[in-house]
Structure 1
Amino acid sequence: MSVPDWLRTVVAVAVYWTAIALGGSVLLADPTSPLVAVPVVGGGAIVAHAARTDRLVEIGYAVGTMWLAVLAVSVGTGVVDLVAAPEGEIAPLAGYPGAAALGTVGLFAVLVVAYAAFVRRSVRRSASDPG
Structure 2
Amino acid sequence: MFVPDSLRTAVAVAVYWAAIALGGSVLLSDPTSPLVAVPVLGGGAVVAHAARADRLVELGYAVGTMWIAVLALSIGTGVVDIVAPPDGEIAPLADYPGVAAIGTFGLVAVLVAAYAAFLRRSAERGTAE
TM-score interval, smaller chain: over 0.9
Q: CA deviation at 1:83?
A: 1.3
Match of 1:120 in 2: 120
TM-score, scaled relative to structure 2: 0.98
Deviation at 1:88, TM superposition (A): 2.0
Distance 1:9 1:28 in 2: 29
What secondary structure sits across from 2:91 in the alignment?
coil
- Using the TM superposition, give the Cα deviation of residue 87 of structure 1 relative to its aligned residue in structure 2, in angstroms: 6.3
Q: In the aligned structure 2, how far is the partner of 1:10 from the partner of 1:47?
A: 11
Aligned length: 129
**Runs of 5+ in structure 2 lacking a partner?**
none
Q: Which runs of 4+ in 1 moved over 3 A?
A: none
Q: Which amino acid aligns with 2:18?
A: T
CA RMSD of aligned residues (A): 0.9
Compute the TM-score of the two structures, normalised by the length of structure 1: 0.96
Aligned to 2:99: 99
For 1:81, give the aligned amino acid.
Answer: D
Match of 2:51 in 1: 51
1:1-131 to structure 2, matched below 5 A, reads 1-85=1-85, 88-129=88-129
Alpha-carbon displacement from aligned partner over 1:67-104 (angstroms, at most 9, x marks no partner): 00000000000011111217621100001000000000
Q: Could you tell me how far apart the structure 2 residues matched to 1:86 and 1:38 are?
A: 32
In the aligned structure 2, how far is the partner of 1:106 from the partner of 1:37?
14
Q: Which amino acid aligns with 1:76?
A: G
For structure 1, the residue ranges without an aligned partner over 5 or more in a row are none
Q: Which amino acid counterpart does residue 109 of structure 2 have in structure 1?
A: A
Partner-residue secondary structure (3-state), 1:45:
helix
Identity, % of aligned positions? 78
Q: Distance in 2 between matches of 1:86 and 1:41?
A: 37
Q: Describe the SS at the equivalent of 2:14.
A: helix
Name the amino acid aligned to 1:96: Y
